[in-house]
Every structure is written in structure tokens, then in C-alpha cells.
Amino acid sequence: MSLGRQKLGSQGLEVSAIGLGCMGMSQAYGPADEAESIATLHRAIELGCTFLDTAEVYGPFINEELLGRALKGRRDRVTIATKFGFRIADGKQAGLDSRPEHIREVVDASLQRLATDRIDLLYQHRVDPAVPMEDVAGAVGELVTQGKVRFFGLSEAGIANIRRAHAVHPVSALQSEYSLWERNLEPEIIPALKELGIGLVPFAPLGRGFLAGDVKRAEDYPEGDFRRGDPRYQGENFDLNVAAAATVRDIADAKGAKPGQIAIAWLLAKGPDFGIDIVPIPGTKRRSYLEENVAAADIALDATEMLGLDMALTPDKVSGPRYTERGMSMVDR
């Protein structure tokens, strides 16, 4: 089992067909186990899952440092994506900051933590309304010219800002939440990505674990786990969402697969459907789940199965917002 390669956007970036989201190795999903996280990163490289996603704000800082340690002697075998865009004070996220001088500082610090001389894909983590997008794209373009960055990406940006950025420096990828569970990109964003030749990197492709099949109510997760505050895991929303996800479980059972594998296979099939490059980055900190996720590349869904999944999880059947009110306020829609 070894993953194939996939173009991501029209600027020359090529990555593994499925990536690995590394955030959970340092925050959000319960206690971390560094030894298992590093073993997971090494196993990902063995499997050809070499598109690794991190950010300065994960931890903060400690996720990039973890990758820097884990990739010693392996740097040239992976594609590293990281992100800027937050002000960090006293070890916590403290608002947005995409001023060009801050971008330059963040990149220099990220390079040091990652123990590398270049970032393969640099995203603006969230659009900063206080800084013109042209200034952001211009600053990243300068870093590309200097060789510190190879490709430019945006995260959770809306159409107007995608176009403004792309006009100054070509955008290779948009990272955004997209899954069977969350279809907000379909009406407008995905057609714009196709028009502009920009790839899509869906994060939370398993609905933050909900589509993996083994879920509990918000209050049953430990303190510090992101899902305790996720509206879709709470109260009546939880019951309605378990019912909506039943089709994923049924198709998985019929194919002898895991529900999460079906969710990833659906995403991989959507790329050709939409005419864009789609590279999901399911996050995990354990080798067993990594191996399951990578194996999804070998699962083929026929037209009937795809339609059944499409209809089972239409936006009106998923209950609750995808973020808290504060989280949604930073999504550029």
C-alpha cells in the first residue's frame, strides 16, 4: 500500500493523494503522545502520505517543533504546509495579524522550528480584515522570490479575497472545511476554484470524527477536547446527526470498509466530478487510524453510492453550525 501523487492547483505543486493533518498531535483532541505521534509521521512517509499540514498556532508552536524533530533526515521526502495569520500572546491565540512584517517574522520562526530552509505551501490561516489582501499576497510573493516559500495558499477565504490574492500572486490551494458533513463550498467557492485553477485541501474530512462512526456526546469527551464545544455534538443536534450519518455506516458495512474510509473515498471522487484537484488531510495522531485513512484511496464508490451519500447528508440534514459563534466570525464568507 503506497499512495499515488496528485497535482494541487495549476502552479506546479504536487503532493500525495491524501495528506496528514498534524494539529491533533499537539492540541484539541485530548492528551498528546509524542512517541506515537512521531511513529505516525514516520509511518506516513513509509505509506507515501507525505503532505503534512501544520501551523504556528497549533500548540502554539509545538506542532511545528514536533515536525522539525520527526523529519530530521527525512525532510526531502515530504511536502510541508504551514500557516500564518494569528497574533500569539502569552502562549495563546490573541486575534488576527497578517501585516507583511508579521508574515516575514512568522515565516522565519516557522523555518527555524521546522528545521528546514523552505516551506512548501504557506497559507494565510484566516483572512485579516485589517490588512488588504493585496498586501498579504505581495508579502508571500516576496518570500517565494527569496526561496523561503514555494507555493501560496489561503484558508477559509471567500471568493472576493481569493480573487484579490490570486491577481497579485497565484494561489495554489484553498484549505477549507469540506466533507460529506459540510458542503458550504459547493454553490460558489468550488466553481471559482475551477475557474482559477486552484486546488482544494479539505480539512476535517471526517466531520471532526463524526463520520468515523465511533462518536460520543460532547459532554462525554474529556476537558480540553475540541468536541466538547462543537455544536454538532451537543444535545438534539447530536441525535439528528447520528441519524443523518447512518447511510455512511450502511455503505461502509456493505463494502467491508470503515465509515471514515467511505467519507474520504467520497471526497477523492468529488475532485474529478467538480473538475478540480482535491487532496483531503484527515488528521490523526495514531498509526492505526493513519493506515485506515490511507487505505481509503483504494475504495471505489459507484454512481449509486455517491448519489446516496450526497442525498443523505445535504446541508438541511446536518444539525447545528460547524463552529461556535466566535469560530464562525473568522470564516470569510
Catalytically active residues, by annotation: 58
Contact (CB, 8 A) for 289 and 261 = no
Q: DSSP state, 162?
A: H
Q: DSSP state, 10?
A: S
Q: Return the SS3 of 182.
A: strand
Contact (CB, 8 A) for 120 and 82 = no
CA dihedral 52→19→189→205, nearest 10 degrees, is -120
d(CA 62, CA 47): 25
Q: Which residues pair with 263 in a beta bridge?
A: none
Cβ density class 261-273: b for 16+ within 10 Å, e for less: bbbbbbbbbbbee
- Written as nine digits, the cell of 40 is 505516525
Closest residue by Cα to residue 213 from 241, 254, 182, 176: 241
d(CA 194, CA 57): 30
Contact (CB, 8 A) for 287 and 43 = yes
Identity at 178, one-letter amino acid code: Y
